[in-house]
Chains A and B, each alone.
Chain A
Amino acid sequence: MKLTPYIAFARIAFLKILAYRLRYYTGIVTYMVNVSVYYFIWKALYRGKESLGEFTFEEMITYVSVGFIIRTFYFNNIDREIANDILLGHIAAKMTRPVNYQWMNIAQAAGESFFRLFMFTVPTALAILVVFPLRAPASLHSALAFLAALLFSFMVFAALNFLVGTCAVYLHSILGLIRAKYFLVEILSGLLIPISFFPDTLAEISRWLPFQLISFTPLMIYMGKFQGEELVTSFLLGLGWTLVLVGLGHWFWRKAATKLTVQGG
Chain B
Amino acid sequence: MRHLSILGYYFAQYIKIRLAYPGDFLIAVSTSLAGTVASFGFLYILFHRVSSLQGWAFEELLFIYGFNLVCLGLFNVLSMNLYEFGERYIMEGRFDQIMLRPLHSLFQVIFEAFRIESFQEFATGLVVVGYVWHKLDLPLTPLDLVLFLLMTVCGVTIYLAVFVMLSSLSFWFEDRVGVSPPVFNMIAFGRYPVTIYNVFIQFLLSWIIPFAFASFYPTTYFLQRHEFSSFFALVPVVAATFVLLALFLWSRGVRGYQSTGS
Contact = CB atoms under 8 A, between A and B. Distances in A.
Interface of A: 20, 22-23, 26-27, 29-30, 33-34, 36-37, 40-41, 43-45, 47, 52-53, 171-173, 175-177, 179-180, 182-184, 186-187, 192-193, 197-199, 202
A44 to B, nearest CB: 4
A177 B46 contact: no
A180 B177 contact: no
B54 interface: yes
Interface string B158-170: 0000000000000
20 contacts: A20-B177, A22-B177, A23-B177, A26-B178, A33-B182, A33-B185, A33-B186, A33-B188, A36-B189, A41-B46, A41-B196, A44-B196, A171-B24, A176-B117, A179-B35, A180-B38, A183-B35, A187-B38, A192-B42, A198-B45
B49 A180 contact: no
B185 A187 contact: no
Interface of B: 21, 24, 27-32, 34-36, 38-39, 41-42, 45-46, 48-50, 53-54, 117, 175-179, 181-182, 185-186, 188-189, 192, 196-198, 201
Contacts of B186: 33
Contacts of A43: 196
Given A40-B198, A41-B196, A193-B46, A177 B38 contact: no
B45 A199 contact: yes
Contact of A197 (B38, B49, B178): B49
Contacts of B34: 180, 183-184
A182 B42 CA distance: 13
B30 A172 contact: no
A187 B21 contact: no
A109 to B, nearest CB: 19
Contacts of B53: 41, 44-45
A176 B30 contact: yes
Given A40-B198, A173-B28, A202 B50 contact: no
A40 B27 CA distance: 36
A183 B189 contact: no
Given A37-B188, A43-B196, A197-B45, A183 B38 contact: yes
B41 A183 contact: yes
Contact of B31 (A20, A40, A179, A186): A179
Nearest to A182: B35
Contacts of A41: 46, 53, 192, 196
Contact of A44 (B49, B54, B182): B54
A127 to B, nearest CB: 12
A172 B22 CA distance: 10
Nearest to B38: A183
B48 to A, nearest CB: 5
Nearest to B37: A183
A26 B179 contact: yes
A179 B49 contact: no
Given A176-B28, A183-B38, A53 B175 contact: no
A6 to B, nearest CB: 28
A264 B182 CA distance: 36
Contact of B28 (A44, A45, A175, A199): A175
Nearest to B184: A30
Contacts of B24: 171-173
Given A193-B45, A193-B46, A180 B182 contact: no
B49 A52 contact: yes
A56 to B, nearest CB: 15
B49 A53 contact: yes
Contacts of A27: 181
A34 B29 CA distance: 27
Contacts of A20: 176-177
Given A40-B201, A44-B53, A197-B49, A176 B27 contact: yes
B182 A193 contact: no
B124 to A, nearest CB: 13
A184 B189 CA distance: 20
Given A26-B181, A179-B35, 14 more contacts: A22-B175, A22-B177, A30-B182, A41-B192, A44-B54, A44-B196, A47-B54, A53-B49, A176-B29, A176-B117, A177-B31, A179-B32, A187-B45, A193-B45
B196 A36 contact: no
A130 to B, nearest CB: 15
A23 to B, nearest CB: 4
A45 B31 CA distance: 31
A165 to B, nearest CB: 14
A4 B53 CA distance: 54
B121 to A, nearest CB: 10
A199 B197 contact: no
